[in-house]
Homo-oligomer: A and B are copies of this chain.
Amino acid sequence: MSKPIRYVTKVDLELPGDQQPQVHNRWHPDVPFAETILPGETVKIECLDWTGNQIRNDDFADDIKNVDLTRIHYLSGPFNIEGAQPGDCLVVEIKDVQPLERQPWGYCGIFPKHNGGGFLDKFYPEAAKAIFDLEGIHATSRHLPHVKFAGLIHPGIIGTAPSHSVLEEWNLREGRLKADIQHNHDTPVANLPEMENTHAGSATGEVAAAVAAQGARTIPGRPENGGNCDIKNLSRGSKCYLPVYVDGAKLSVGDLHFSQGDGEISFCGAIEMAGVITIKTSLIKGGMETLKLKSPMFIPGDVQNQYGPSRYLTFEGFSVDEEGVQQFLCATTAYRQACIRAIEYLRRFGYNDYQIYLLLSSAPIEGHIASIVDVPNACTTLGIPVDIFDFDIRPEAPIVKQEMGSCALVTGAGHNLTYTYR
């Protein structure tokens, strides 16, 4: 009686993403439905890695350096959830996420400062990469020796399509930001609609043109639909509650992560992979009003990595920046300081800074907002599970230097792998 679960999307790992009409890379209400899913039906959805096959399993970071960020993220869908109407709450239960059996590896990358960048690009402006082997629940990397952990596996992106008016608001407010502050930044503060390499799924003609002209980029998560929320705990068994803005909801999903640390600090910062997600949907009719649902919410699953609270070495970070300048209640600055403290600590074991940056980005790191009111300092914490290392990293343990190799770098790279903090 019980048949195999239906696949609503399959992907091709050889073909560029934009040649696959069942995926798309912009948010727009007019991207055509890829498939229909019935509420109550459990389905499987294959997803490309977010770059649509741009990254290779090798020991050089050239592909990361030269990644084409107009091409991302390739999302499966959008799906027509039968019966969904604007104002509803779409409930998506994440039954499972798995890497594809035919490609059991993933990657974590550090983009160069001027092509993508990341949270610490001021100190680490060059490209780097770590390839992870995915064996069952475990990830290991030849570029990060002596580390192994179970994946807190999840979709980086899950969201419904914006309505035309929601889309318009996105473009306006991000445009305003760009107008206001871009001149103070040497990397983009926002990515506005970009016609080049827009992939509107199966759309053609005027629809495709509209999507290209107006379609919101997939990089930021946004309050209205979640999207690229990159929440590591949105893992197996989670139930998420998404606002619906268009008929059929137009659910899209992708950017699957085998694992990620809180903050996903290197930006290409999870263990990025092609994979398959199994979901089951239902509708709470009129749920946006009855639940006062303006942004997604979720209930995590009951199966997650459990290290025990005493197995986290935890660094404190405050909102005094790396130049010693006092910032005002800035949790972002505070979290950056916690990251720096962790790098300085872990470096003692022989890892280079780029390796640690990749590690903090991809392993199940806990990043908390501890206090946000003690003017002028915000305090954040960054907790590293000590059990992901096969040696003891705790303060009392003696340091036994081991061969730590290196992460993948750009061919011929000769740049400094360590940053000296004041």
Q: Which residues of A contact B (CB under 8 A)?
A: 1-5, 42, 57-58, 89, 91, 94-96, 101-105, 118-119, 131, 133, 135-138, 150, 169, 173-174, 176-177, 181, 188-191, 219-223, 226, 228-233, 236-237, 241, 262-267, 269, 278, 280, 284, 287, 291-292, 294-318, 320, 324-332, 335, 337, 341, 344-345, 347-348, 366-381, 383, 387, 392, 394-396
B262 touches A150 (CB 8 A): no
Taken together as a complex, chains A and B put the C-alpha atoms of A89 and B345 apart, in Å, by 14
Complex: A314 Cα to B295 Cα, angstroms = 11
What residue of chain B has the Cβ atom nearest to residue A229's Cβ?
Answer: B379
Query: Which A-B residue pairs are the 7 nearest by beta carbons?
Result: A95-B136, A96-B136, A308-B308, A230-B371, A331-B331, A302-B310, A220-B377
**Contact, CB under 8 Å: B379 / A369:** no
Chain A facing B: main interface SS: mixed
A177 touches B326 (CB 8 A): yes
Cβ A295 vs Cβ B308 within 8 A: no
Q: Among the interface residues A91, A226, A228, A369, which one has the most CB atoms of the partner chain B within 10 A?
A: A369
Q: Give Cα A300 to B280, complex, Å.
A: 30
State the number of copies, please: 4
Which residues of the other chain, B, contact A5 by a CB distance below 8 angstroms? 101, 104, 135
21 sampled A-B residue pairs with Cβ under 8 A: A5-B104, A42-B136, A136-B236, A190-B376, A220-B318, A231-B368, A233-B314, A237-B310, A263-B372, A265-B373, A284-B395, A292-B344, A299-B310, A299-B313, A300-B309, A304-B309, A329-B332, A330-B330, A331-B331, A331-B369, A367-B369
Q: Return the contact of A372 from the options B119, B372, B392 (Cβ within 8 A).
A: B119
Contact B150 A219 (CB under 8 A): no
A85 to B319, CA, bound (A): 27
- Closest approach, in angstroms, between the C-beta of A353 and any C-beta of chain B? 13
